[in-house]
Amino acid sequence: AQSVAQPEDQVNVAEGNPLTVKCTYSVSGNPYLFWYVQYPNRGLQFLLKYITGDNLVKGSYGFEAEFNKSQTSFHLKKPSALVSDSALYFCAVDSGGYQKVTFGTGTKLQVIP
Amino acid sequence: GAGVSQSPRYKVAKRGQDVALRCDPISGHVSLFWYQQALGQGPEFLTYFQNEAQLDKSGLPSDRFFAERPEGSVSTLKIQRTQQEDSAVYLCASSRGGRGTSGISSYNEQFFGPGTRLTVL
């Protein structure tokens, strides 16, 4: 079985400050890890993925995520938050690329002007 | 270019009615997924198609749920005898690669449609 935990329902950060949205995972095989963002009244959009290679993955809109195998974590980060980053963020995992993705419950990011 | 489209966007059904939800994936995408998203939750996997083959239907909650993709493009999710607990947003996604595609780099992210919000009264 595979699972994803997003321990924070909501993260508040001031505009211009760095942001981190946490994610931990549990899989039996090699983890394929993803971050998606959901804006109000819009579909889920892909941000970035880790399959293999460098532990630091860069994605869309200046976001990046760090894969940490020993801590089974894949936290989403951005050096300087924008108000427009306010949205719902989902971490997801697929064990071994089997095309069966498990999503976390989501973290609402609120960037305060 | 055109993304994933779903219809209808909103559906209200009386308990016991049958409903059919349509998904038009991105042209040429091999994989197609259906998810159910309850309010305040993440999407939950329902079923997976690789071309016309339904390779995984382990997430379908009951035998009232049925999905098909007969020609490997458009897909329909059918729910028979709807119940109030079926009320949710149903998301469709497609991706270029498929299960077992050779080469790690061919594993592609999923592109999601806007969803169909189903309300069962």
Residues B43-78: pLDDT tens digits? Answer: 999 999 999 999 999 999 999 999 999 999 999 999
In chain A, the percentage of residues whose pLDDT exceeds 90 is: 80
CB B43 to CB A51 under 8 A?
A: no
**Exposure letters A6-15 (e unless 16+ CB within 10 A, then b):** beeeebebee
The CA-atom distances, in angstroms, between A33 and each of A29, A60, A89, B79 are 12, 15, 13, 31
Alpha helices in chain B (DSSP H): none
Between CA B7 and CA A13 the distance in angstroms is 37
Rounded to an integer, the average pLDDT of A21-28 is: 95
Mean pLDDT of chain B: 91
Q: What local confidence, expressed as pLDDT, does residue B104 receive?
A: 46
Cβ atoms B104, B73 nearer than 8 A: no
Between CA A109 and CA A52 the distance in angstroms is 27
Q: What local confidence, expressed as pLDDT, does residue A92 receive?
A: 95
Residues in A lying within 8 Å of B, measured between beta carbons: 4, 32, 34, 36, 42-46, 49, 51-52, 90, 92, 97-106
Nearest Cβ partner for B42 among A42, A90, A100 = A90
CB B114 to CB A45 under 8 A?
A: no
> DSSP letter string over B41-52?
S--EEEEEEETT
Q: Which two tokens stand for residue A9?
A: 């329902």
The set of residues, in sequence order, having a beta carbon less than 8 Å from that of A56 and lying 6+ positions away, is: A64, A65, A66, A67
Q: Which residue of B35, B45, B92 is the best one to mutate when testing the A interface, meaning the one whose CB has the most A CBs within 10 A?
A: B45
CB A103 to CB B43 under 8 A?
A: yes
Cβ-Cβ contacts under 8 Å, A10 against chain B: none
Closest CA to A76 of A113, A48, A96: A48
Taking 60 as the threshold, does the pLDDT of residue B103 lie above it?
no
Average the pLDDT over each of A97-106, B26-35, B47-56 and give the range with the smallest value. Answer: A97-106
CB A103 to CB B42 under 8 A?
A: yes
The pLDDT-based confidence of B106 (bands split at 50, 70, 90) is low
Q: Tokens 């942001």 sit at which residue? A: A19
CB A46 to CB B111 under 8 A?
A: yes
Q: What local confidence, expressed as pLDDT, does residue B73 receive?
A: 95
The residue with greater pLDDT, A95 or B11, is B11
Taking 90 as the threshold, does the pLDDT of residue B11 lie above it?
yes
The pLDDT-based confidence of A100 (bands split at 50, 70, 90) is confident
Mean pLDDT of chain A: 93
Q: What local confidence, expressed as pLDDT, does residue A73 receive?
A: 97
Q: Which residue of B49, B104, B108 is the best one to mutate when testing the A interface, meaning the one whose CB has the most A CBs within 10 A?
A: B104
Average the pLDDT over each of A1-15, A93-107, B16-30, B64-78 and give the range with the smallest value. Answer: A93-107
CB B112 to CB A45 under 8 A?
A: yes
The residue with greater pLDDT, B101 or A29, is A29
The pLDDT-based confidence of A52 (bands split at 50, 70, 90) is confident
Q: Which two tokens stand for residue B71?
A: 């020609």
Rounded to an integer, the average pLDDT of B82-102 is: 87
Q: Which two tokens stand for residue B23?
A: 């998904």
Cβ-Cβ contacts under 8 Å, A104 against chain B: 42
Q: What local confidence, expressed as pLDDT, does residue B107 receive?
A: 66
